[in-house]
Amino acid sequence: MNQAALVLIKPDGLKKSLTGNILTRLSETKLEIVAAKMVRVSKELAEEHYKHLKDKPFFKDLISYIRGELHERRKVMAMVYWGEDASTKCRELAGATNPEEAEPTSIRGSYGRITTAGVYENVIHVSSNPEEAQREIKLWFHPEEIIVDLYPAKEIVAREYKRKVWA
Ligand code: DAT
Ligand code: MG
């Protein structure tokens, strides 16, 4: 069945110039990229994204990490992969959460590390399943940023809202 998965290239992946390698590895899945952008991650977005871990001792470090505070790279690359069993296929290539336990040829096994402070720098995020993907994609993307209709959306007329346009 066609599914969507949120994939994030985390700040360590960007700092290590791994974008090309990661995209090449993920292209083995034959899935389609239906959305992509660079994001400066707010504290609110980071905390909402990882809210299932908010009671963990590593939560604060995790938020700093995804916001790029540990890598002088205040950005992540966010993408939506779409197609047959998207989350399973992408997670298989990503490897286990703990980069030291990840299959050595997986993305996390190849490029991840655990810092001396205990932070899992595991290079990418991939949604675990379609339900998690839906929650996460709705956090990271607006409907019009995705080139297929993934989830029900509605049109609204927004008045008095401020946005930047080209000068
Ligand atoms: P995953 O990213 O494989 O879906 P997760 O959702 O359980 O794993 O955790 C999210 C992130 O939190 C993970 O990528 C790295 C960090 N993390 C998880 N368990 C950890 C631990 N025991 N020590 C340090 N960081 C951890
Ligand atoms: Mg997870």
Encode pLDDT of 7-39 as tens digits. Answer: 999 999 999 999 999 999 999 999 999 999 999
CA dihedral 159, 78, 13, 1 (to 10 degrees): 170
What is the distance between the alpha carbons of residues 167 and 164, in angstroms, rounded to a whole number? 9
Q: Decide: 105 and 99 in contact? Cβ < 8 Å.
A: no
pLDDT tens per residue, range 90-132:
999 999 999 999 999 999 999 999 999 999 999 999 999 999 9
Residue 2 CA to ligand 1 centre (angstroms): 26
pLDDT tens per residue, range 38-82:
999 999 999 999 999 999 999 999 999 999 999 998 999 999 999
Catalytic annotation on 125? yes
User: Model pTM?
Assistant: 0.97
Q: Is 29 in the pocket of ligand 1 (CB under 6 A)?
A: no
What is the distance between the alpha carbons of residues 62 and 53, in angstroms, rounded to a whole number? 9
Under the banding of pLDDT at 50, 70 and 90, the label for residue 161 is confident
From 67, 92, 97, 126, mutation site for ligand 1 pocket: most ligand atoms within 8 A of C-beta: 97
